[in-house]
Amino acid sequence: MTALEFTVVVWALSALAGFLGALTGLGGGVVVVPALTLALGVDMKYAIGASLVSVIATSSGAAAAYVREGFSNIRIGMFLEIATTLGAVAGAILVGRIGTHALAIIFGLVLIQAAYQALFKAAPETGAPAAPDALATRLRLNGDYPVGGKRQAYGARNVRTGFGIMFAAGALSGLLGIGSGALKVIAMDRAMRIPFKVSTTTSNFMIGVTAAASAGLYLIHGYIDPRVAMPVMLGVLAGALVGAKVLVHARTRTLRFVFGAVILILAVEMIVNGMLGKV
């Protein structure tokens, strides 16, 4: 494969990754890392470095559109980023001190449960929204988002639980070099009872900051190769912009199905890589 062919293939795969990342709030790394390592033979550390760059691109490309459309809750995103950034720093510090093989397997099992919940236990988002708790009201985390041409109000609950899950998401990002978008969506959708579209769009808003905390370490160690990272970033950015336009008009049930299917694939990948000692 020539350099040009390699670049085109990487761009195409990355565009698909960005599209899925924008729809689900997971970031493009879910598809980019296995595609680069398994299909194209790229060293995993360089694939993770390019993935982290792509996550930043996904966040930048999709988040602007979601904020403009009124889906993302910036106040929730900024508040929960405190937890994910602290977790990412803690995870980066613990790299080399904690065996990531077992951690990857446990993470995969958690994602399988989350996929089951998304695919088979999704509650319809109809009727009155969840009442906000006292802490969410005090922090002004409640908001509204467009539904059928109107603005529908919603409240946040279980803020402490969501904050704790976000810290774990950041720690996994630092330990395993992933965006941890799955845990971010789970924390907001399941724990905090925020509408699914708001959860995925706010996750897209957040993952860039978390990834940047880890990407700096990969850059220092020389694991971000422009020959790989550049087509990945451009492809993911293009896919993310298209995905952002599709999400605005997509049905929540369809988004939940896509989310569940993608994190199920991610779960299997994490478990297999953990058992084979590849993470």
Question: Which pTM was predicted?
Answer: 0.72
CA within 13 Å, CB half, 83 = 20
CB 142 within 8 A of CB 153: yes
Tell me the pLDDT tens digit for each residue of 170-210.
887 777 666 677 778 888 988 898 998 899 889 888 877 77
Distance CA 33, CA 12 (A): 14
Task: Sort residue 73 into left (φ over 0), alpha (ψ -120 to 50) or beta.
Answer: beta
Of 262, 264, 233, 256, residue with least CA distance to 26: 262
Count of C-beta atoms within a 10 Å radius of residue 177: 27
> Cα–Cα–Cα angle for 93, 53, 228, nearest 5°?
115
Tell me the pLDDT tens digit for each residue of 119-160.
776 554 545 566 778 899 999 999 999 887 888 999 899 999
pLDDT in tens, the chain (279 residues): 788 999 999 999 889 888 887 777 776 666 787 778 777 888 877 887 888 887 777 676 667 778 888 888 999 999 999 998 888 788 777 766 766 677 778 777 877 877 787 777 655 454 556 677 889 999 999 999 988 788 899 989 999 999 999 998 888 777 766 667 777 888 898 889 899 889 988 988 887 777 776 777 778 888 889 999 999 989 988 888 888 788 878 887 888 788 788 878 878 887 888 888 776
Query: Would you call 27 helix, strand, or coil by DSSP?
Result: coil
Of 57, 99, 79, 104, residue with least CA distance to 184: 79
